[in-house]
Amino acid sequence: MRYELTNYEWAAIKPFLRNKPRGVPRVNDRCVLNGIFWVATI
């Protein structure tokens, strides 16, 4: 879909995300970012 990150875009963004688990287990970061971009486009 047009708002989803491509593998190339995800590879560029992933190193900037935290990798330390704290508290509640993390959900899939890529899905969260795709959701944010989807909401931002409507």
- DSSP structural state of residue 40: H
pTM (two decimals): 0.69
Task: Give me the pLDDT at residue 9, please.
Answer: 92
pLDDT digits (tens, 9 = 90+) for 1-42: 667 889 999 999 999 987 777 788 888 889 988 998 888 877
Task: Give me the pLDDT at residue 1, please.
Answer: 64
Task: Give me the pLDDT at residue 21, please.
Answer: 73
Q: Is the backbone of residue 6 left (phi > 0), alpha (psi -120 to 50) or beta?
A: beta
Taking CA atoms, 6 is separated from 24, 34, 37, in Å, by 27, 10, 12
Task: Give me the pLDDT at residue 41, please.
Answer: 78
Residue type present at position 15: P
